[in-house]
Copies of this chain bind each other. A is one copy, B any other.
Amino acid sequence: MPDTLVTAAILVIGDEILSGRTKDKNIGAIADRLTETGIDLREVRIVPDEQAEIVAAVNALRARYTYLFTTGGIGPTHDDITADSVAAAFGVGIDVDERARAMLLERIKPEDLNEARLRMARIPFGADLIANPISKAPGFRIGNVFVMAGVPQIMNAMLDEIVPTLTSNAPVISRTLEAANTPEGTFAGALALIAKAHASVSIGSYPSMTPQGFLNRIVVRGRDAAAVEAAATAVEAMLAGLTR
């Protein structure tokens, strides 16, 4: 376990997400994996397929967080500009990488490896490759930035390879308490006092609507099991008191 908190950000690259045509599934999937691993996801951004926007976001996020994960824009078409943009963000060159070309040749016949497909082997200088067991075109890691595919099945396969290499914190322990048909406003005052008394944990209250009415979930999260348990017990007692 490191001395300081290991943090992360996600950068989703793609006009199709901003237009609504494609509904992102990668943010939730990466968030789940990072939480399981004990890494704090602190920020997410979605930007269009424009180099200046990608460069600015990569540089802002890689400077601020331990890790940055990007998704999208590493295919063979003209709108796939992530690799070139990341190279520009790091101020390094980029060219066809022989390791990446060899990976592509595992799936593509040499006579079919045209200029467009070779774009998928363009890797910034100094980067390590991330294998793609599904369609072979690799992602890459440069510095603290992991560049992954946007297709969810491929992104998840790349994440399987990346996660074991990450430094992580002690995992966050979480306890969820349900308050069905009890409006948040009934317990919000008491919950605020519990949150204040148990400042080493984070306590969130999350309303959702079900056909049966509002369902509130109170989630206690923290890295110290005893502290989480103590706060959860206090919330439980408070909720039980409401229905007396």
Q: Which residues does A use to contact B, with CB under 8 Å? A: 12, 15-24, 27-28, 31-35, 40-49, 53, 75-79, 108, 112, 114-117, 119-120, 134-135, 151, 153-154, 172, 174, 184-189, 191-192, 195-196, 202-209, 214, 219, 221
Q: For residue A17, which residue of chain B has the nearest CB?
A: B31
The answer to whether A209 and B75 touch (CB under 8 A), given A31-B19, A34-B20, A116-B189, is no
Instruction: Give bound CA distance, A34 to B18, whole Å.
Output: 9
A109 to chain B, nearest CB (A): 11
Instruction: Give bound CA distance, A87 to B32, whole Å.
Output: 32
Q: Quick one: which of B35, B116, B196 contacts A188, CB cutoff 8 A?
A: B116
Instruction: Give bound CA distance, A208 to B23, whole Å.
Output: 12
Q: Quick one: which of B78, B108, B135, B151 contacts A191, CB cutoff 8 A?
A: B78
Q: Quick one: which of B17, B114, B186, B219 contacts A189, CB cutoff 8 A?
A: B114
